[in-house]
Structure 1
Amino acid sequence: MIYKKDNWNMMSVEVNGKQLIVREISDQWGEESHIFLSRPAMMQWVSERFADDRFDGSEEEREEIIRAFQEV
């Protein structure tokens, strides 16, 4: 679990063999899945998805999310 704000806003990562499956559920967009074949590819996506100028939360929240991805 990367983060969970409520039943409709959460993000998790599942390790399935060589694949990393990121599932993002939001009340606006529904469920979205992203499949990565390497950790560097996933971290590239994370750096784009949670870029400073695109993230709506605080800097501490952003750093906590990025740290959770790094621990996967």
Structure 2
Amino acid sequence: MIKKHTIYKKDNWNMMTIEVQGRKIVLREISDEWGEETHDFLSRPALMQWASDRFPKERFETEAEWEEIMNAFREV
């Protein structure tokens, strides 16, 4: 059984989804700048480490914005 989570979706060209396929976690990031990138993780801690590196708190205007994204990752 595959569980699908949407981290964010701004439009058809800027979105991030995660599929949990048994023990494997597949993250797809689509952006108008870079196209589609896929990342595979074997554990949630690895996913969370990637997320904190990819979305540093300093890049967000408010802490609430950052918290929202991180909470979406925690719910996976």
Q: Do both share a fold (TM > 0.5)?
A: yes
5+ long unaligned stretches in structure 2: 1-5
Give the one of 25, 38, 48 matched to 2:30.
Answer: 25
Question: How big is the alpha-carbon RMSD for the aligned residues of Structure 1 and Structure 2?
Answer: 1.2
Q: Deviations over 1:6-61 (max 9, x none)?
A: 110000110011110110000000000110000000000011001123x3554322
- Aligned equivalent of 1:68: 72
TM-score if structure 1 supplies the norm length? 0.90
TM-score if structure 2 supplies the norm length? 0.86
Percent identity between the two aligned chains: 62
1:12 equivalenced with 2:17 (yes/no): yes
Give the one of 37, 44, 52 matched to 2:42.
Answer: 37
5+ long unaligned stretches in structure 1: none
